[in-house]
Structure 1
Amino acid sequence: MSALDGSIVLIALPAIFRGVHLDPLAPGNIAYLLWMIMGYRLVQAVLVVTVGRMGDMYGRVRIYNSGFAVFTLASILLSFDPFDGGHGAMWLIAWRLVQAVGGSMLTANSAAILTDAFPEEQRGFALGVNQVAGLGGMFIGLVAGGLLSAWDWRAVFWVNVPVGVFFTVWAYRTLRETGRRGGGRIDWWGNITFAVGLSAVLIAITFGLQPYGGHTMGWTDPLVEGLIAGGLALLAAFVAIENRVRAPMIQLSLFRQRAFTFGNLAGLAISIGRGGMQFVLIIWLQGIWLPLHGYDYADTPLWAGIFMLPLTAGFLAAGPVSGHLSDRFGSRGLATGGAVLFGASFLGLMLLPIDFSYWIFAVLIALNGIASGMFASPNSSSIMGSVPAPSRGVASGMRATFQNSGTAVSIGVFFSLMIAGLAGSLPHTLTSGLRQQGVPAHVATQVGGLPPVSSLFAAQLGVNPVRHLLQPSGALAHLTPAQQQTLTGREFFPTLIAGPFHSGLVIVFAFGAALAFLAATASLLRGAGRAAKATATRIPRPADAPEQARAREKRDL
């Protein structure tokens, strides 16, 4: 449920914008779209380590149960948005941030609870099911968003309410603590520097995607540069603080475990590739492929979700099986093979033409889903099995931080690459195409000079930007009926944008493949894993006195 809400809005955004009567191409409204997508991921990326540490201290089940209650309350308030326009969008953004707080409490502690509850020989399967539930929610959200938004845009938030109410009651009545609480105290300086530093970097990425001055993106904006520099400085200060405090937020000693370090690095690379790929595929389907095949712009969100079903099915089929196999044969081989297959699917997508045959596309995204399933469960099992029991909450939070940060960063990275690919040819192509259909030169130049991000968001939101942009100027009224029908039809804009868009696709899929092969290399370097598990128990808890730590190490030896 927590992961589903991170992706369900991607597909449902067209219905949400229509529902709150927000013009998607009006100046400044791009920011609302970005924050609806990025805000949820940002909060989850920042908070999961903190609430994981709180689970170690005060009880993982207690924090987990509280997360259900917070998540459900925010879902109820999201479904009763009382405003329109910008105020309606701000209501949704604000309560999605609160919803992400509850989601963080669930995500950070679920893997730790399962690791406490299951013996080592069953842990891979248990964590595999948990990881499949999380990432499966992300994939299912793409389909659910299309189906539910076709009925009512509020339904994408209503769907959480009965589930949340039932399982909030169930969790409080059923779950019991099986792990030992660690006690200790909260590392306030570490939490503040980490939260503010990571938030600054992710906020900078969000602003960097918006046009600035005469530039297509905002990476030269002094605000963006200052946020990135300040965020990185705070993260460096965070590392220095963690090396000096007695009860750190993150035990940097965990990174001495090869399985923990390289597993998280591999997970980060795969997460960046996965999140960006989903975003690009949605734009490809909704903005180009579906209109070219006769689907109305208003119906493209529903059909985009349906046509992406092979991706979800591949993941759901491979995830539990790979978790079970990792218990028998180890994590490294399965996770590495999954990363290689993940990269191969990117190379296959890169070779597809814009107007592809669906069955080839379906096979490639199914392979991508299978690859994600092969990688996710063994990688989680390897990471969680490499840490000592008292640190499983914070370790689970760190794993989730890498995953959520990767997803948040992926949208910024892939979108920047896509815009860079479009910027070189789209303005000229759009201007020339409009002038060929009789649009006055000054109007065609004005429309062609719009930032490429506007065209991408128009495609994302199921809007025909040509009709939307030409009507206010009155240019359509001076054209022949045939020219008007051509310009405002389903095929003109997708055909026009296809060439520049394909140039951007080649760049982003090549980058995705490089990330996947980087993840495969990191996965190979994680080691066999069992030795790491044996030594992990000898890492002293940070709150222990030196004498206690030496006594425990002597006893273990």
Structure 2
Amino acid sequence: MPDKKTNPSFSQSSPAKNRVNGEKRPVTRAAQQSDKYKWVTLSNTTLGMLMASINANIIMISLPAIFRGININPLAPDQISYLLWVLMGYTVVTATLLVSFGRLSDIFGRVRLYNLGFAIFTLSSILLFLTPGQGSAGALELIGFRLLQGVGAGFLFSNSTAILTDAFPPWERGMAMGLNQIAFVGGSLLGLLGGGVLAVFHWRLVFLISVPVGILGTAWAYLKLRETGAVNERQRIDLWGNATFAVGLTVLLIALNYGIMPYGTSQTGWGNPLVIAGIAAGLVLLAVFLWVELKVSEPMFRLSLFRIRIFTAGNLSGFLYSVARGGLMFMLVIWLQGIWLPLHGYNFEDTPLWAGIYMTPMMAGFFLMGPLSGWLSDRFGSRGFATGGMLLTLAGFLLLATLPANFPYLTFLLILLLLGLGMGMFAAPNTTAIMNSVPPEYRGVASGMRATIQNTGALLSMSLFFTIVIMGLAAKLPPIMYQGLLSSGIPVAEARQIANLPPTGALFAAFLGYNPMEQLIPQQVLVNLPVATQNLVLGKDFFPSLIAPAFIASMRLTFYFSAVMSVVAAVASFMRGEKYIHGQED
């Protein structure tokens, strides 16, 4: 289709840019007001993305302090599910509700529901800060408030992209998406760093930090944002579609999360009848959902949008991109916290903060490339940038697979920078292309569909990454750990018992910044060991040296898997065709 960079419904305040088909048009007061309003939408939606992404990752680093604060041992067999729900419940709820919220926004107004999301998010942050309970009751309260926070985040995520698309002309949307997504990635970095700092003072501060930002954003959105998109209040809500999709996806995602947990004598839960039943029930309900959407007159999930080539190719490549990188942050954090940082003299309890610091090159790469690729894609189209971004990501994963457990940091830094550049080159052009391709009246549901597809891919990635690593550790770690424990002076019976414990506990301990050996060796065994042996097994080098060979072998499999996903994503991205903006066809 022809590449048209203008839309008569938009005007620019700059005479040099205010052209349609090369002809200068006079600048009107309405055009100047529209020019100011688009920056209001960008700043407010950017604030919302920043707040939501800070909150998503601040938990990752702060979990040890939070669980100590409510007197819970998250690695105890009867309490490890609390860890799973606090960590992933927020994302599960958000992913499940995005499409429904996007569809509701097309009916009742994107700004109205975006404002509601800000308010819900702020209220839930206050409730998290005030969590009154201790022990199991406190953990359940935290989980409930986090799920509520996920509802607020769902309204924010499903509407921010659509609001930006409504406010910006087609030739500036890539730049706006790039800046908006920088805030999301920047929030991830600030969450990692802020969680490490605030948790030192008090765990409640981790949740309090979102409150003033939420109050400001809620008031600002209510006062300044206005409805500029197409809204049709006469549409009916697809009740059966909403119900089958929400329940089906929720059951499927919960089953996938529990699949990485031990079951009986198995190292993972994929043989658990409840997990199998959950996956089967979730897939059946999602199949019923698709059948419903083909039958109802006003569906929630606009399957007809997949007839648009760019929309289909963009969402497919976005899903594969999310599967490739969704579990990467967790794996790199475990690598840094459980192996590299202790081997370089860092205390286990300090590793969460330093892991965030050492991950900054990847964020820096995204910061550099995100807005630049978005701006350039406004002029030259998205295909080259999105495809090139996935090829850079492919190179990054292959280079990660070559690193030893105790790598030179400069090499790691450069690889992380390359990954960040690739991800930044892909994200904004791909999002812009998807949103440009749909009719204005479907931007809310299209935004929700895009976000749901990517969030589902990220959750699937985490389950797959953890499963690959856990299965690899289960096969290779026991004999290595048994010999290491024997050589350090641990009695034969205890060494055999410890070596055959599920590796999930060791992984989560490293992820939380605990010395895993303190969790694996029974206290009665530990206190009866000679002092020299205690110092050895509880030292900084013992566990990293034991786990490194088996862990790195498993990690390489995840990197190769991500490389394959990146190749397929690059092909899907290239197949999107030439630049296309809905409504500018000949």
TM-score by length of 1: 0.94
Question: What are the superposed Cα offsets for residues 80-108 of structure 1, whole Å, 9 maximum, x if unpaired?
Answer: 22222222222111111100100010110
**Alpha-carbon deviation of 1:475?**
2.2
Match of 1:438 in 2: 489
Does structure 2 retain, via aligned residues, the 8 Å contact 1:317–1:370? yes
Q: What CA distance in whole angstroms lies between the structure 1 residues aligned with 2:532 and 2:187?
A: 46
Of 310, 316, 341, which residue of structure 1 is paired with 2:392?
341
Match of 1:50 in 2: 100
**Alpha-carbon deviation of 1:170?**
0.7
Does structure 1 retain, via aligned residues, the 8 Å contact 2:506–2:520? no
Using the TM superposition, name which of 398-407 and 26-35 deviates more: 26-35
**Matched residue of 1:351: which SS?**
coil
Match of 1:470 in 2: 521
1:301 aligns with 2:352: yes
**Alpha-carbon deviation of 1:196?**
0.7
Q: Which amino acid aligns with 1:127?
A: M
**Alpha-carbon deviation of 1:152?**
2.6
Of 12, 29, 45, which residue of structure 1 is paired with 2:79?
29
Q: Which amino acid aligns with 1:321?
A: L
**Alpha-carbon deviation of 1:24?**
3.1
**Alpha-carbon deviation of 1:465?**
2.3
Match of 1:518 in 2: 568
Match of 1:540 in 2: none
**Alpha-carbon deviation of 1:323?**
0.8
| Mapping 1:81-120, distance limit 5 Å | 81-120=131-170
Does structure 1 retain, via aligned residues, the 8 Å contact 2:192–2:353? no
Match of 2:381 in 1: 330
Of 203, 208, 217, which residue of structure 2 is paired with 1:167?
217
Using the TM superposition, name which of 85-94 and 135-144 deviates more: 135-144
5+ unaligned residues in a row in structure 1: which ranges? Answer: 536-556
Match of 2:551 in 1: 501
Q: What CA distance in whole angstroms lies between the structure 2 residues aligned with 1:132 and 1:262?
A: 23
Question: What are the superposed Cα offsets for residues 514-555 of structure 1, whole Å, 9 maximum, x if unpaired?
Answer: 1111111110011113276646xxxxxxxxxxxxxxxxxxxx
Does structure 1 retain, via aligned residues, the 8 Å contact 2:178–2:373? yes
Does structure 1 retain, via aligned residues, the 8 Å contact 2:86–2:143? yes
Distance 1:531 1:306, change over 3 A: closer
Match of 1:544 in 2: none
Match of 1:226 in 2: 277
1:61 aligns with 2:123: no
Match of 1:210 in 2: 261
**Matched residue of 2:144: which SS?**
helix
| Mapping 1:388-403, distance limit 5 Å | 388-403=439-454
Q: What CA distance in whole angstroms lies between the structure 1 residues aligned with 2:583 and 2:372?
A: 22
Match of 2:239 in 1: 188
1:158 aligns with 2:200: no
Match of 2:317 in 1: 266
Q: What CA distance in whole angstroms lies between the structure 2 residues aligned with 1:287 and 1:88?
A: 28
Of 284, 292, 295, which residue of structure 2 is paired with 1:244?
295
Using the TM superposition, name which of 151-160 and 284-293 deviates more: 151-160
Distance 1:365 1:272, change over 3 A: same
Does structure 1 retain, via aligned residues, the 8 Å contact 2:382–2:433? yes
List structure 1 segments (4+ residues) > 6 angstroms apart after TM superposition.
Answer: none
Q: What CA distance in whole angstroms lies between the structure 1 residues aligned with 2:397 and 2:520?
A: 34
Q: Which amino acid aligns with 2:111?
A: V
Q: Which amino acid aligns with 1:436?
A: S
**Alpha-carbon deviation of 1:231?**
0.7
Does structure 1 retain, via aligned residues, the 8 Å contact 2:99–2:448? yes
Using the TM superposition, name which of 399-408 and 184-193 deviates more: 399-408
Question: What are the superposed Cα offsets for residues 47-68 of structure 1, whole Å, 9 maximum, x if unpaired?
Answer: 0111111110011000000000
Using the TM superposition, name which of 374-383 and 436-445 deviates more: 436-445
1:408 aligns with 2:459: yes
**Alpha-carbon deviation of 1:127?**
2.1
Does structure 2 retain, via aligned residues, the 8 Å contact 1:145–1:305? no
Q: Which amino acid aligns with 1:485?
A: N
Does structure 1 retain, via aligned residues, the 8 Å contact 2:509–2:519? no
**Alpha-carbon deviation of 1:202?**
0.2
Match of 1:491 in 2: 541
5+ unaligned residues in a row in structure 2: which ranges? Answer: 1-50
**Alpha-carbon deviation of 1:440?**
1.3
Question: What are the superposed Cα offsets for residues 338-394 of structure 1, whole Å, 9 maximum, x if unpaired?
Answer: 011011111111111100111111111111111111100000000000000000000
Q: What CA distance in whole angstroms lies between the structure 1 residues aligned with 2:186 and 2:526?
A: 46
Q: Which amino acid aligns with 1:230?
A: A
Q: What CA distance in whole angstroms lies between the structure 2 residues aligned with 1:275 and 1:531?
A: 29
* Identity rate, percent: 52
Q: Number of matched residues?
A: 535
Of 359, 362, 366, which residue of structure 2 is paired with 1:311?
362
Q: What CA distance in whole angstroms lies between the structure 2 residues aligned with 1:220 and 1:347?
A: 32
Match of 1:553 in 2: none
**Alpha-carbon deviation of 1:151?**
3.1
Q: What CA distance in whole angstroms lies between the structure 1 residues aligned with 2:491 and 2:298?
A: 68
**Alpha-carbon deviation of 1:140?**
3.4
| Mapping 1:515-554, distance limit 5 Å | 515-530=565-580, 534=584
